[in-house]
Chain A
Amino acid sequence: MDAQSAHRFNPSERTSSAIFVENLTKWYGPRQALKGLSFSIAPGEVVGLLGPNGSGKTTTLRILTGYLRPSSGTALVGGIDAIEDPAGLRAQIGYVPEDIPLYNNMRVGEFLSFMAQLKGLTAAAAARAVDDVAQRLDVSRVLRVLIGKLSRGYRQRVAVAQALVSDPRVLVMDEPTNGLDPQQIISTRELVRSFAGVKTVLIATHILAEMQKMADRVMILLDGRLLATHVLAEQNDLPRHVRMRVAGSPEQVREALARVDGVRAVQYQADGIDGCASFMVEGERSAESLTARLASAVTSRGFALMELTDVSSDLEEVFLGLLRSRNEASP
């Protein structure tokens, strides 16, 4: 959870990490976009880079893909230095930029073959790679279609396909679900999850819910600094909160709720203007059908349940909490 821990690297981490960043800074004229960013990502990890617009996510990705040179600091991908050998670094990476930049006057197959060969594949190997990646991303049907005529969803798939066509060890994606419909978002999410343990994936986004479903770990970036890292697997240890409004004696309702399996604590909050009592129930995250059992515990005793809302402590709360504490700390 704590960002500072990311700055204390083991000596072996520099070489064993798929991505290693230490004290990275980037200035755009007088404006400093990155202020000493440090983190490392292990091979096979799916990591999210989360932050509001302008927090330095895209700048970080652009440095890691060799597009931008850092002002100072170290950025290594697979042990290759972004400053010393940018071409070698680029050969390791598949990159899906934001806004899906593609050549509209090229056909999908032609474009994928061009990108594969640009990454060093021979023409024959590129043809095989295009077939493989087209099947995997379900773009085989549009291989002969002009990119300019594709829908947003297909364009996104083609953008991911070009990043994967050379079978890179590291995949970097900038806002990969922007503008997609729900079905396409689910497909992208499943695709990214299928890389876990196989490829190292770094995804930048400002959509919190997406991160929870895709990443093993989330790094929260704000104003060019790493604010926190959050291992999503640890969420099972976090409590789950349910807010309830019930018409009835507060003491009796509280007692009924406290008896439900998986409930850690029940906090009586206030009486509403309609004579209903409000409670905040803290339960175990692993407790199954907690909300249904809470509702049943109340109604089976003859109390009227007016409201039940799951306000679980999730990544959004972590993120907003960090933002709040940051704003309070700054003058």
Chain B
Amino acid sequence: MRGFKLLLLKEERALFSSEIVYVLAAMFLVVMGYTFSVALFLNRSPSLVHLFFQMYVLFLLTVPIITMRLLAEERRLGTMELLLTSPVSEVQIVLAKFCAAMSLIVIMLALSGSYAVVLALFGQPDWGPIYGGYVGLFLLGCALSAVGMLASSLTANQIVAALASMGLFLLLWAIDDFGFLLPDPYDALVTNLSLSAHFVPFATGSLYLSDAGYYLSITLLGIFLTVRALGRR
């Protein structure tokens, strides 16, 4: 546990001392602010549904940038050898890196919470879909971070890691369109792989265990495969 805390602190220091993170967070908030204002003035309804779908798409593009350096940088600098010859386990290293990436995602989500506060001050929002949307975005962030970290563990090149995970996310985003072309039962099989199909219920206020299970399964699989990738040396 002590090793995990030390590694987490190191990761967070590295993450928050990078200017990329601040540019990313600023861009995220500007786009969110724009979407919130436009959606509010057009619909005149106290809802964050548009915002959640916008955040969902932005996560597909920004999480690979957050996760790309996690392990690729250690591999490039050779510092992985320092970590793996210290009395810490691969699991501790991977979990520390995952939690560091998630801490930034949680901060981005928390900052976007100001829009919910604005709704509460000036209207009567339905809190169910708002809570559901945030739970969905948190789970989506976990799944994307785990897969992004896995891509980062497989290469020493950060750009390759970012492009590989971004490509995979965009494929899983659009895969339900392909599912509609397939006959039964393959359509359901492919649609169930879709990030979008599992996110829509959260954003509209319906929480299903199957959707949460989907994101949690991807998260655990990503973490497990990353640990295995580190162990393969």
Contacts and interface: CB of A to CB of B under 8 A. Distances in A.
A115 B82 contact: yes
Contacts of A197: none
A73 interface: no
A118 B233 contact: no
B77 A90 contact: no
Given A97-B81, A99-B78, A118-B3, A105 B87 contact: no
B14 interface: yes
Contact of A104 (B7, B77, B85, B86): B77
B37 interface: no
Contact of B17 (A67, A93, A105): A105
A65 B85 contact: yes
A150 B135 CA distance: 45
A143 to B, nearest CB: 17
Determine chain B's interface SS by DSSP, over half rule: helix
A120 B6 contact: no
B79 interface: yes
Contacts of A95: 81-82, 85
A103 interface: yes
Nearest to B76: A101
Nearest to B80: A101
A119 to B, nearest CB: 6
Interface residues of B, number: 22
B233 A90 contact: no
Given A68-B233, A104-B77, A90 B14 contact: no
B74 to A, nearest CB: 9
Nearest to A87: B87
B6 A117 contact: yes
A102 B74 CA distance: 9
A119 B6 CA distance: 11
Nearest to A93: B85
Interface in A73-94: 87-88, 90-91, 93
A258 B17 CA distance: 74
Interface in B65-89: 77-89
B228 interface: no
A66 interface: yes
A62 B78 CA distance: 13
Given A67-B233, A118-B6, A102 B87 contact: no
A175 B135 CA distance: 51
Contacts of B87: 87-88, 90-91, 118-120
A87 B158 CA distance: 29
Interface in B174-219: none
B81 A90 contact: no
A87 B2 CA distance: 14
A103 B233 contact: no
Interface string B1-30: 011001100100110010000000000000
A97 B81 CA distance: 8
27 contacts: A65-B85, A66-B85, A67-B233, A87-B87, A87-B89, A90-B85, A91-B87, A93-B85, A95-B81, A95-B82, A101-B79, A101-B80, A101-B81, A101-B82, A102-B79, A102-B82, A103-B77, A104-B77, A105-B17, A106-B10, A106-B13, A114-B6, A115-B82, A118-B83, A120-B2, A120-B87, A162-B82
Interface of B: 2-3, 6-7, 10, 13-14, 17, 77-89, 233
